[in-house]
Every structure is written in structure tokens, then in C-alpha cells.
């Protein structure tokens, strides 16, 4: 797998760059792997990010609930 093999150290860091362009990223990756492998790796990375987000929400669930409650109260006032 492209992402998991270390060919790309951190896709998250790459995507956060100010000059990030999807087209350039795909072209660069296609030089190294087939498009299907890139798609599969990005899907795996998406699952990792989703799992991390769920873990974060579960860890700080009370804070998330309070945040939404505070936002609703602010809008009502």
C-alpha cells in the first residue's frame, strides 16, 4: 500500500500545505503506483481518520455535548 508503505510520510501534512492541489497530488502519486492502489490507500486513510475522530469524540464526549449546548444557548440569547 502506498500510504502504509512509507512512500508518502503523511498525507495529512501534504494536504494541509497552502499550495496543495489535488490534481498535482494524483499526478505525482500515479508516477509511483496505479490509480486503483492510490484509491485503496486513500480509502484506508479515510477509515483511519474516521476512527480517530470517533475516538476523540468518545474520549471528550462531555466536552462535545457542552460545546453544542453552549452554541445553542448563544444562538437563542
Instruction: Please say whether the beta carbons of 52 and 11 come within 8 A.
Output: no
**How far is 8 from 53, CA to CA, in rounded Å?**
22
**How far is 61 from 9, CA to CA, in rounded Å?**
31
Residues near 21 by Cβ (< 8 Å), separated by ≥ 6?
none
pLDDT in tens, the chain (77 residues): 445 445 444 666 777 788 988 888 888 888 888 888 888 888 888 888 899 889 988 888 888 778 777 776 555 55
Q: Is the dihedral of CA 36, 39, 41, 47 positive or negative?
A: negative
Amino acid at each position: 500500500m502506498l500510504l502504509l508503505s512509507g512512500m508518502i510520510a503523511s498525507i495529512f501534512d501534504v494536504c494541509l500545505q497552502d499550495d496543495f492541489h489535488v490534481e498535482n497530488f494524483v499526478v505525482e502519486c500515479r508516477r509511483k503506483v496505479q490509480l486503483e492502489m492510490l484509491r485503496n490507500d486513500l480509502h484506508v486513510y479515510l477509515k483511519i481518520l474516521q476512527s480517530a475522530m470517533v475516538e476523540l469524540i468518545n474520549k471528550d464526549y462531555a466536552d462535545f455535548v457542552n460545546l453544542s449546548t453552549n452554541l445553542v444557548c448563544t444562538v437563542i440569547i
